[in-house]
Amino acid sequence: MDRKTCDSRISDLEKKEDKVKQYLNALEHILQNGKDRDDRTCTGTRGVFGYQMRFDLRKSFPAITTKKLAWRSVVSELLWFLEGSTDERRLAEIHYGKERKDIIDKKTIWTANANKQGKDLGYTNTKTIKELGPVYGSQWRSWSGNNKTVDQIKNVIQDLQKDPNSRRHIVSAWNAVEIDKMALPPCHTMFQFHIQDKELSCQLYQRSADMFLGVPFNIASYSLLTCMLAKILNLNPGEFVWTGGDCHIYKNHFLQVEEQITRNPAPAPKLSMPEFQTIEQAVLAKPKDFQLVDYSPMESIKAPMAV
């Protein structure tokens, strides 16, 4: 092997390694180069403005392996969004597979928001109903504006089928008229689909990114959404592109992040999904129907969520 060929192979291996570690590289970049500032939660953050990562969905699924991903929570929340619900107790039913009256003591990733911001906004907050206002599910499936309601998910699927070359395949959760009514204004604000060579790709813009707790969850959620829509459209998954605005690490997560960046990622798993042909059929699936095959994550790293 000549020197040029050898150098080329080394470069390819380095690029592949960099792709595998890109999330860890993002954490390290923020720790080393980010700026400290106060925030809404009074916890304090260190962050950078503007960052991007790209994940290849063709042969594997970008579930983080340097700590355990809460996969069931990822699937449950996405099904909840796609159902159009804004009741946290409905999310609990999807997640635990039981009626809400039987899981009063069980929490979800949205419970704290419902009990604080949702309650402060005057929404119903009981043991069996915990309303959040017009958050993601409402915006995705019943966007309100100009005296009409729009099902953005249904529309984007139809538009992808009718006009695959369009540059307008966009879903937005940032409904300016209803922001003040939401228990939590959307952090992942808009996403765009792109079809090329019979592959469906998606780019998400996330205005506010909790890099340690939230972003691995968001990457998995939108990668799953992309794979689901690709299945409905009879396309192959392409890439998921994650673009962040305010990309931050909370100050009470520093030690956890420092531990995580010392870990070496394991091989990425593959995704197994149930059979469905429409979004309505997909929403009827159970979280257990979506599996990560050959997923071998390292131990979880616990950290508090800033609310």
* 71-83 helix and 215-232 helix, angle to the nearest 10 degrees: 60
> How many angstroms separate the CA atoms of 224 and 240, rounded?
10
**197 Cβ neighbours under 8 A, 6+ residues apart:** none
187 assigned to active site: yes
Cβ distance 247 to 51 under 8 Å? yes
Q: Is 68 helix (H, G, I), strand (E, B) or coil?
A: coil
> How many angstroms separate the CA atoms of 207 and 193, rounded?
18
Phi-psi region of 248 (alpha: psi -120 to 50; beta: other; left: phi over 0): beta
Cα–Cα distances in angstroms (integers) from residue 175 to residues 25, 150, 180, 190, 288, in the given order? 33, 12, 10, 10, 32
Per-residue tokens: 83: 């159902």
Per-residue tokens: 21: 């570690």
DSSP assignment of 274-295 equals: ---SSHHHHHTS-GGGSEEET-
Catalytic residue among 6, 42, 187, 202: 187
> How many angstroms separate the CA atoms of 95 and 73, rounded?
7
Which of the residues are catalytic?
187
